[in-house]
Amino acid sequence: MFLDKLPADEIVPFTFKVQYRRPVMVRTLSLRTCAVKVMDEMDDTERAAEFTGDALEMEPAFATAAPVKQAPSKKSASLLREQVLEIHHYTDKLFSFRTTRTQSFRFQSGQFAMIGLEVAGRPLLRAYSICSAYYDEWLEFFSIKVPEGPLTSRLQHIKPGDEILINPKPTGTLLLGNLRPGKRLFLLATGTGFAPFASLLRDPDIYEAFDAVYIVYGCRLAAELEYATGVTIDVREHELLGELAADKLHYYASVTREPYHHQGRITDLIENGRLFADLGVPGLDAQNDRVMICGNPDMTAQLRAMLGARDFLEGSSTVPGDFVVEKAFADR
Ligand SMILES: Cc1cc2nc3c(=O)[nH]c(=O)nc-3n(C[C@H](O)[C@H](O)[C@H](O)COP(=O)(O)OP(=O)(O)OC[C@H]3O[C@@H](n4cnc5c(N)ncnc54)[C@H](O)[C@@H]3O)c2cc1C
């Protein structure tokens, strides 16, 4: 049963049956519960079909011709149309933006959705991790700027009020539910791979589920760390989350292409033990540690192999494991 097809007054009684310690989050927690129910009713094949079908059909070539007015396609009509609220540029390669959020759009922390722009009357969509919290009233995204990229060469120029298309069926593997219970959670990211972790760091559940949460973030230049650093500070200073996260959330940022107090690739920092020495904690152990990975394809492949060699089992929506992986982008 899809809850967004129910009249709003049928959802409300369910909402207030949920018991939760922090009253301000009662409504938002129940929204998440609704989202979990909806996703649970689709199996993996259905989710993949939803995603792949959209990705294939909605990827027109880089259009250079003048826009031609066309009637919206059936697929386009099913997309949500959100308005850009604000944009923040960090470097010549990275920016973030917020949009309005249609109330019926539900997602779980760590998921991605197909989002984009209408170009020449057709949707031009790409996979984007959702950075905002499941309870926020807006949607937030953290984006690369690829100079010749079909989408981001345009997306980087958006202004408040512009329209962003969003497929209302998010998916993804970086979910708390895909991990077995553990004591420490390591979130390993490079570049825009931090995006799904922004949403997870804003989710009170991860601080309930783990004794310690380590965000380990690698970029080429120190200026590229700004978005992740800002999110982490916001979480620590948040009036409700801050209390939960204060003693548990640890941020370790490393830079590869210029001097910085932590330097080197995440894979090397794990392999040579530097990461753990700097943090003053023991190295990875499959018994107690759980890991989520999102970054460039080489990094994700190497980390998958390194964890496999340490007896970590990869988790999925069918069998929870010790680690889960999502590529931050696909190599073409
Ligand atoms: C599951 C998933 C989640 C994603 N989440 C995000 C996200 O939250 N933010 C985001 O900016 N991108 C994300 N991407 C990548 C995104 O889908 C697009 O590839 C990106 O927006 C560029 O689109 P484009 O059309 O301009 O260029 P594309 O034709 O899609 O890409 C051109 C080339 O640019 C490089 N590239 C693409 N994306 C990135 C990136 N993020 N970082 C570094 N190099 C890249 C690759 O070499 C790629 O071959 C995600 C991809 C996947 C598969």
Tens digit of pLDDT for each residue in 272-328? 999 999 999 999 999 999 999 999 999 999 999 999 999 999 999 999 999 999 999
Element (H, E) at 303: helix 297-309
How high does pLDDT run on average in the chain?
84
- Dist. CA 265 → ligand 1 center (Å): 20
- Dist. CA 330 → ligand 1 center (Å): 7
Predicted local confidence at residue 14, as pLDDT: 34
What architecture is domain 2-28+173-330? Answer: 3-Layer(aba) Sandwich (3.40)
**Residue located nearest, by CA, to atom 38 of ligand 1:** 329
Predicted local confidence at residue 199, as pLDDT: 98
Compute the average pLDDT of residues 239-250.
Answer: 95
Compute the average pLDDT of residues 206-234.
Answer: 98
**Residue located nearest, by CA, to atom 34 of ligand 1:** 146
Tens digit of pLDDT for each residue in 250-264? 999 999 999 999 999
Which residues does ligand 1 sit against, CB inside 6 Å? Answer: 112, 126-129, 142-144, 146, 149-153, 191-192, 195, 326-332
Residue span(s) of the chain under CATH 3.40.50.80 come to 2-28+173-330
* Model confidence at 27: pLDDT above 50: no
**Residue located nearest, by CA, to atom 36 of ligand 1:** 329
Instruction: Compute the CA torsion angle 123, 127, 133, 138 (nearest 10 deg).
Output: -20
**Residue located nearest, by CA, to atom 15 of ligand 1:** 329
CATH number belonging to the domain at 43-166, selected among 3.75.10.10, 3.40.50.800, 2.40.30.10, 1.10.357.10: 2.40.30.10
C-alpha span between 295 and 220 (Å, rounded): 13
Tens digit of pLDDT for each residue in 122-169? 999 999 999 999 999 999 999 999 999 999 999 999 999 999 999 999
What type of residue sits at position 223?
A
Please indicate whether residue 166 or residue 18 has the higher confidence score (pLDDT).
Answer: 166
- Residue 141 half-sphere exposure, CB side, CA atoms within 13 Å? 27
Predicted local confidence at residue 77, as pLDDT: 76
- Dist. CA 308 → ligand 1 center (Å): 26
* Model confidence at 208: pLDDT above 80: yes
What type of residue sits at position 199?
S
Residue span(s) of the chain under CATH 2.40.30.10 come to 43-166
Compute the average pLDDT of residues 51-66.
Answer: 35
